[in-house]
Structure 1
C-alpha cells in the first residue's frame, strides 16, 4: 500500500471500520470510443490500486451506451492497457450492455412510480425549457401524460416505432433545481444504430447518468470513483438509486482531480483527429500520450506507475510538467538497461597505424548499477565516430576531437587526427588518424591527457539500423489544435550504426545509447534484417536546454514532485451555479467550466469578456489557458477583458490563426498594445488566399520529392508532414484548413 494516505483511502478505511461494507469493490468504466491515454492510467492506478490495497477487487467495465462511436478494437486496447500496467480485473470484462434489459426494467419501474415520463419536445425545445441559472425551467406539457400512456410510448420506443429524436425518456425531478442537471434529466434516447455487441437488438440506449449508477449497483460496487467534472452528476447518481429504493448496500460516488500535462492533449476528439487525419501513425504512434504510444515508444509500466504515484491525488485540477513523466522513465531505465554504442551521423575514421582486429571486453553497466554483463567489442582499422564529435575549427570549450586535440575512444585507445579528407563541396567525408598503442583503457602508460571520451563503432562489424528520434508532438505548452503541432516531432535516421552485440546477442530490448539517450527495439517494425529503434527519452531534458538556449528560460525541475493529498473541495453554491451556466447554457466542456467556475478572478474576467463578444467557447479557452497563466506569473495584467475579446474576434473572423493569436497574446502581455495594432504592425494576418499559399506548397513538394514518392506509394502518414512544413514556412500564418485542402489537391493531381 502507498505510504501516504489520500482522502479516498481514508474514506475506504472508515467504511470498512464502520461495517458499511465487508468487501471493497471498485470499477474502471471507460467508454470504448478511443485508445486509453495517460489520464486513464491515473484512474486505473486509483481504482485498481485501492481494490488491491484493501484486498477487494476492481471490475473492468465498458460504458458502451453510445453505439455510434464504439468499437471492439478500443475494448482490446483498454484491456491491454490495464494488463500492461500490471493489474487484473475481477473475473470477465463487463459491459454496460450486459445490463441493458435490467436497466430498462428500472426505467419501467420509475415510470410506474410516476418518477419518469416520455417527452416529445425536440432537442432545441428541451434546452430552451431548461431555463438558466437565474431562472427556473419549465416542465414540458408532455409530463402530464398518464402512467399508462408513458408505458405504452416507452415500449413502442423500445420496439423501434419512432425516429431518432422523436421522443426521450426523462426523470421527473425539479425544473427549478439549483443544479441544472437535476431539471428532469434525460434517461433514454432513441438511436437507430448497430451496436458492436448487441447488434440491432436495441434502438433505445440509456444515458450515462442512468446507466452508470445502476451498473455500479448491479455489480455491487462500493466506491464509484470518477474525475472532478462529474461532481454535479453525483446528485443524479444518488437520486436514481434512492428513488428506486434499492436494497443496501449501495455505491456512492467520489471525485478526484483529473490529470493535465503540458505540451499534451488528452481530448479523445483531438486524438481521434490526429489519427484519422494521418498526422500521426495510428493510435500507438510513440508521440501520442496513449498507453499504446508510450508502450511502443519504450516506456515501462513501472515508470508510468511511479509517475501516477508521484503526482498523487490532487485537491483541484492542475497542470503537471511533462518533464516529471520523462524523469520517471529515465529514473527507471538508469538502473536497468545496458549501455552500448551507436553512431547516428557517421563520420569514417581510418586509423593508419592499426592493422587487424581485436576484441575488447566491455561491461554493459557502469559501476553504480548493480547488474552484471559484458560483451566483446570489435576494434579495427576503420571506425565510425559521430560527425559532431570532430570539429576542424572548434569554439572555446570544445573537448572532443580536433586537428590539434586528441580524444579517447570509449573503452579503448586515444586517437589523434592526422589528416582531413573533403569532397568537392568542402564537406568532410573522412579522417585519417593514428592511435596510441600504450593508451588502452585500464592499461594507459602514454601520459597523454584527454578531456573527454567519445563513442564509436567498428565500420567492418557494426550493424546498420534505423533510428527514430521523437520530439514533443506539440510546440506549445498549452496546445489548442493542429496549428500547434511541432513539424519536427519525428526524425528518421536510416543509416545509423550500432555495435554488433546489440543485434546478435540481444542482451535487452531497451538500451542506453551512450551520450545519445534511451532507445527501444520497435515491437512492430523491428526485424533482424532491418533493426529499428525508437528513442524513448534523452539522457537529460533536451527540450528544456533548447528553450533555455533560445529564450533564456529556466530549465524545468526534474526532481520528484510532492504528493498533494486531501479531499477535493466541493463547489460552493455560487461556483456550482457558474458551472451549470458554463456547461448547460454556454456549452463549455466540463474541464474548462470547472477551471473558470472555481476561480473568482478568472470567472469575473470571463464574464466581462463575454459582455464585449458572444463567443463563449473561444473566450473560455483563452481565459482558462493564456490569461490564467499570465495571472499566475505577473503581478498585474497589461491588458483587460476588452483586449482578449478583440483578440478572439480576430480568431473567429479568420483574421489570425490560433497559433498566431498566442504570439499576439505574448506581445500584449509584454507591451500592453492592442491586438489589432500588434497584428498590423507585425504583418500577422492569416494567409487564406490560395494564390499566396500555392507557391509555398509547390516549393515544399519540390524539396521533398523522396517523401512525395513514399506518400504516393501508400505512406499516407506523410500528409501531416507536408502540412506542417507549409505552416512552418508561413511562420504559422497560413490558414490550416485551406492548407489541408490545397496540399491534398496537389498530392493527388501532381
Structure 2
C-alpha cells in the first residue's frame, strides 16, 4: 500500500469516525468505518487488512475526544458533513403531537393516576414525562390522583405514596394538586345516589357466573327494574357493611344489547372485606370500581385531556354512560400503545419486582439490576434524560420500544462536560488485574481531571512500586503501550520499562492507549452494575469524591459514587 492511499484512508476514516461518533453520541467502531470507506473507494479494497491497521489509531484518537472537540474537528475537515448532521438533529427534535381541541378550553388540565401498590418501574415514567411536558407546553395544570380504591387485589403500599411523588420530582415535575381516591368515598357514594335517582343504577345480587351468562346472551338481570326506593335501601346497606363480599353490587344501567358485552350493565360498586391499609379508609367496605371512581373524579377536577393505554378504550365508553346520565361533557382522550423497554432480565412489573425484593433476590428497589426509577436514580441517571427519551416515543397507538441506550445517550449529553475523570482497573473474568513493576520513568502520571477543561487541573498519580493494568491491555513481550497521562512503556516479559517517545507513536505505530492505577497507592472499588457486581482498583483520588458525585472511569464508563467504607469505595455504574 503506497503512502497516498494510506493518507487518503486516514483522512476519510477520521471524517467518518467523527460523523458516526457525533451522530450516535458514542465511540466509533473500526468495522463500522470500513464498510463505507471501501464502498466509496473501490481502489482501497485490495489493501483491506493494511487499511484496517492504518485507520485503527485514527478511530482511537477520535474516541478519545469529547463531543465538542469532535464537532470542531468535523467543522474543520468537512463542514458540509456537520451541516448535514445538524439538519438531522433538528428533524429529530420534534415535540409531542398537539393535544386535540385545546382551543376550546381556558386551560389544559391533565391528570396522572398511579396505583400506589409499589414504587415505580421505568415504564411508569412515561405518564408523568408526557403529561408534565404537555403541562409545560400549554402552561397547563396537572393532578396526581392516587387511584387506591382496591384494597385487596392491588393493595396499596403505604410507602409508595411518597415514593411516587418523590419520583415525579426526580423526573422534574411537581403536581399542582394531589388527591387520594380513598379519601373521597363519600363523594362517590353521593354520586351513586344521584345516579340511582336518574334511573342509571341498580343493585344486583346475582351470582357472578349467573349474571355473566345472562349478560353474554343479552338478557336483562331480573333486578334491573327494581324501584328506586329499594335500590337506595340496598345501596345504603352496602355502604353500612351489611352485605358480605360478592353478595351485592351496584351496577350502571347501560344497553343490555350492546354489541360489546363488556359494556353491558357494568359494576360500579362492590363489597371488599379486606380493610384498606390507610387508617383513614380502613372502615369502608363498599368500594367503587376504577371506571366509576375515575370518571367522577375527572369531571369534578375539571380534567380536559386524558392520556391512557389503548387497552383501556372500554373505560372511556363505560364512563360516557355515566356522563350522559349526569349531562356532563366527556374529556378529550388520547390513547397510546404499550412501551417495551430493553436491557433488563427482570420483568417490568411491580408485583414481580416486589416478589424479588421480598425474597432477597434483589437487594431493594434501587438494586442496579431492577428496572426501576429508584435504580436509575442511584446509578446517576438524570431524570430529564428519562423524560426526553420517553417524550421521543410520542403518543402512537402502536406499541413502542424504548432502548436503554436512548436514555444513556440523553444522560451522557448532560453529564459528560461536568464529570471528572479517573482510572479504574477491573478484576474481570477474562483475565483480571495484572500487577507489574515499572522502571526508568517519571515518579507519577498527570492525566487531566477533564480532557476538555485544562483549568480544572491534573491528577497526581504516583507510580511507586509499579502499576496495575487490565490483563486484556497487556501487550506481547517486547511491544509497547501508552499509559494514559504517563507515557510510553515497553513490556519486557517481567515488567514495564519506560520508553522516551512522543504521543505520535499512538497514531504512527498503532501503540494502544491504556488506563492504569498504581500497584500500591490505590483504592479498592466495588462497582455495582445491571449485569452484576464488579471489583477492582482505582486511583486514590477517588477518596476525594462524596456520595452522589459522578465520575467517568476512563474506558470503563460513568459511575455515581455511593460511599466510602473501610478502605473500599462503592460506585454504581451508569453507562458507557
Whether the TM-score (by the shorter chain) exceeds 0.5 is yes
Q: 1:414 aligns with which of 484, 488, 501?
A: 488
Give the gaps of 5 or more residues in structure 1. Answer: 391-400, 421-431, 472-489, 540-750
Contact 2:526 2:533 in 1 (8 A): no
The match for 1:283 is: 365
Q: 2:190 aligns with which of 91, 96, 105?
A: 105
**Counterpart Cα distance in 1 of 2:505 and 2:413:** 37
**Counterpart Cα distance in 1 of 2:547 and 2:464:** 23
Contact 1:351 1:434 in 2 (8 A): yes
User: Does residue 513 of structure 1 match 2:553?
Assistant: yes
| 3-state SS of 1:363 partner | coil
**Counterpart Cα distance in 1 of 2:93 and 2:477:** 57
User: Does residue 253 of structure 1 match 2:327?
Assistant: no
The match for 1:379 is: 463
**Counterpart Cα distance in 2 of 1:469 and 1:363:** 26
The match for 1:460 is: 520
| 3-state SS of 2:437 partner | strand
Q: Deviations over 1:676-728 (max 9, x none)?
A: xxxxxxxxxxxxxxxxxxxxxxxxxxxxxxxxxxxxxxxxxxxxxxxxxxxxx
User: Does residue 4 of structure 1 match 2:67?
Assistant: no
Change (3 A) 1:462 1:101: same
| 3-state SS of 1:299 partner | coil
**Counterpart Cα distance in 1 of 2:573 and 2:176:** 36
Contact 1:340 1:512 in 2 (8 A): yes
Change (3 A) 1:370 1:290: farther
Q: Deviations over 1:54-109 (max 9, x none)?
A: 11110111101111210121112211110001101114x21112321111100011
Contact 2:102 2:108 in 1 (8 A): no
The match for 1:491 is: 533
| 3-state SS of 1:467 partner | strand
The match for 1:195 is: 276
Change (3 A) 1:309 1:373: farther
**Counterpart Cα distance in 2 of 1:173 and 1:447:** 77
The match for 1:427 is: none
Change (3 A) 1:94 1:117: same
Q: Deviations over 1:126-173 (max 9, x none)?
A: 332331xxxx43222122322111111111111111111111111111
User: Does residue 122 of structure 1 match 2:207?
Assistant: yes
Change (3 A) 1:64 1:243: same
| 3-state SS of 2:460 partner | strand
Give aligned pairs, total: 475
**Counterpart Cα distance in 2 of 1:38 and 1:261:** 8
The match for 1:351 is: 438
Contact 1:335 1:370 in 2 (8 A): no
Change (3 A) 1:157 1:329: same
| 3-state SS of 1:281 partner | coil
User: Does residue 29 of structure 1 match 2:103?
Assistant: no
| Cα shift at 1:466 | 1.2
| Cα shift at 1:39 | 1.9
| Residues 568-647 of structure 1 aligned to structure 2 (within 5 Å) | none
| 3-state SS of 1:144 partner | coil
| Residues 512-591 of structure 1 aligned to structure 2 (within 5 Å) | 512-522=552-562, 527=565, 529-537=567-575, 539=576
Contact 1:338 1:507 in 2 (8 A): no
**Counterpart Cα distance in 2 of 1:81 and 1:507:** 20
Give the gaps of 5 or more residues in structure 2. Answer: 1-91, 428-432
Contact 1:27 1:58 in 2 (8 A): yes
TM-score normalised by length of structure 1: 0.59
The match for 1:153 is: 234
| Cα shift at 1:307 | 0.9
Change (3 A) 1:186 1:446: closer
**Counterpart Cα distance in 2 of 1:121 and 1:157:** 15
Q: 1:51 aligns with which of 135, 148, 152?
A: 135
Q: Pairwise CA RMSD of aligned residues?
A: 2.7
| Residues 672-711 of structure 1 aligned to structure 2 (within 5 Å) | none
User: Does residue 242 of structure 1 match 2:242?
Assistant: no
| Cα shift at 1:338 | 2.1
| Residues 132-147 of structure 1 aligned to structure 2 (within 5 Å) | 136-147=217-228
| Cα shift at 1:122 | 2.1
Contact 2:482 2:506 in 1 (8 A): no
| 3-state SS of 1:374 partner | coil
Q: 2:496 aligns with which of 428, 433, 436?
A: 433
| 3-state SS of 1:380 partner | coil
The match for 1:294 is: 376
